[in-house]
């Protein structure tokens, strides 16, 4: 589910409506994407925050992104060998949730359960200790610090919103629970 509209609007105001995904190219070096942000991504994935017993409406960092960097295909091509592969973070074709873009495509073709299947797979991967999103801890930390700095400069505090309807209802078991059953 998306952020509540008040948080979404605030996050877009903080970034002046621009995608703040860091990218690198030979012509410009490191820079922010700067395209119009159509989505506001949960930096800490919503399903993970819920799984851990938190509230994604209030606990997750909102990151404005363009469609390409949020749910685009995330594929790039090796010019030297012509091979196509998942773009790494900072590549102009990188996408944080390329599987959700594919799920949307399948949904539009008539597979109404595709999003449910993708969410189930996310939890299975998370429980197995595998990241289901295309980012590492270092890049997440950088994006959080970047957004937090922009929010501080913006000077308007994050709006208070109602907790997510599932907040606090799920909680990850400790590694030891069920061990002796």
CB-side exposure of 142: number of CA atoms within 13 Å?
A: 13
CA 78 vs CA 21, 86, 91: distances in Å: 21, 10, 12
The DSSP code sequence of 7-74 is: HHHHHHHHTTTB---EEEETTTEEEE--SBP-EEEESS-HHHHHHTT--HHHHSPEEEE-HHHHHS--
Contact 62, 42 (CB under 8 A): yes
pLDDT (tens digit per residue) in 67-95: 999 999 998 887 778 889 999 999 999 99
Q: Where are the domains of the chain?
A: 5-154
pTM for this model (two decimals):
0.86
Across-strand partners of 15?
none
pLDDT (tens digit per residue) in 102-156: 888 888 898 888 888 888 898 899 989 999 999 999 999 999 999 999 999 999 9
């Amino acid at each position: 589910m998306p952020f509540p509209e008040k948080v979404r609007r605030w996050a877009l105001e903080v970034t002046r409506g621009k995608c703040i995904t860091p990218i690198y190219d030979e012509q410009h070096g490191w820079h922010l994407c700067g395209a119009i942000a159509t989505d506001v991504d949960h930096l800490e994935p919503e399903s993970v925050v819920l799984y851990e017993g938190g509230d994604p409406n209030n606990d997750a960092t909102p990151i404005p992104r363009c469609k390409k960097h949020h749910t685009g295909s995330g594929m790039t091509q090796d010019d030297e060998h012509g091979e196509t592969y998942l773009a790494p973070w900072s590549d102009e074709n990188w996408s944080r949730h390329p599987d959700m873009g594919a799920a949307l495509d399948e949904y539009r073709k008539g597979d109404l359960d595709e999003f449910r299947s993708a969410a189930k797979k996310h939890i299975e991967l998370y429980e197995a200790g595998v990241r289901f999103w295309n980012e590492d801890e270092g890049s997440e930390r950088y994006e959080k610090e970047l957004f937090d700095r922009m929010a501080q400069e913006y000077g308007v505090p994050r709006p208070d919103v109602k907790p997510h309807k599932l907040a606090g209802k799920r909680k990850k078991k400790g590694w030891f629970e069920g061990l002796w059953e």
